[in-house]
Amino acid sequence: MRINKKLLLVSLLCTGMIFLQSFKQKHDDDKPINLKVLSKDISEKDLHTIMKSFSMSLGVRCNYCHVAKEIPGQNHPQWDFASDDKKEKNTAREMMKMTMAINSDYLGKIKTMGDGLEEIRCVTCHMGRTTPIISVDSLPHLPRQEH
C-alpha cells in the first residue's frame, strides 16, 4: 500500500513535468510563423495591438481575415492565424505596404512648418468599415452645392 502511494506520487510528478514540457512546447509553437510584412521578431504584445487596431479600424472581428474552424461540441473555434486562405488577409498585406509607402514616400516628405505631415493609418480611410467612401455621392449628409 505504502509503495503504491509512493509510486502514485512519483508518476503524478512525472505526468506534471511532461505536462509542463508540452505546455512550453505549445507556447513556442505559438510564435508567428508566416509574417511577410511585419518584423519576424515582433513581440506577441505588439502583434496583438496591431491586430486589434486592424479589427477596430475596419469594424470587424479577427475572423474577417483569419481562418476559424468550428469544432463540434466546443465553444471556441480553432484558429489558424498563420493560414493565408482568406483573400482579405492578403488584401490587408497590400494595404499595409500601401499605407507605409504613403507615409514614407509622400506625407513624410512634405515639409510644412518643420516636420512632415502626420502619418495615416488604416482608420484614416476605413473609419470603422471594410469599404471606405470612395465617392462624394456616398457622403451621408451631402450639403447642396450652390453654383
Interaction site with ligand HEC (CB under 6 A): 32-38, 47, 51-52, 54-55, 58, 60, 62, 64-66, 81-82, 88-89, 91-93, 95-96, 99, 120, 122, 124-126, 130-132, 134
Cβ proximity to ligand HEC, 1 vs 93, nearer residue: 93
Cβ proximity to ligand HEC, 21 vs 44, nearer residue: 44
CB of 12 to ligand HEC, least distance (A): 34
CB of 128 to ligand HEC, least distance (A): 12
- Candidates 70, 72, 88; CA nearest to 80 is 70
CB of 85 to ligand HEC, least distance (A): 12
d(CA 11, CA 17): 10
d(CA 62, CA 77): 12
Q: What is the torsional sign of CA 99, 100, 103, 105?
A: negative
CB of 2 to ligand HEC, least distance (A): 50
Cβ proximity to ligand HEC, 25 vs 131, nearer residue: 131
Cβ proximity to ligand HEC, 62 vs 116, nearer residue: 62
C-beta separation of 64 from 70 below 8 A: no
The distance of Cα 139 from the centroid of its chain, to the nearest Å, equals 29
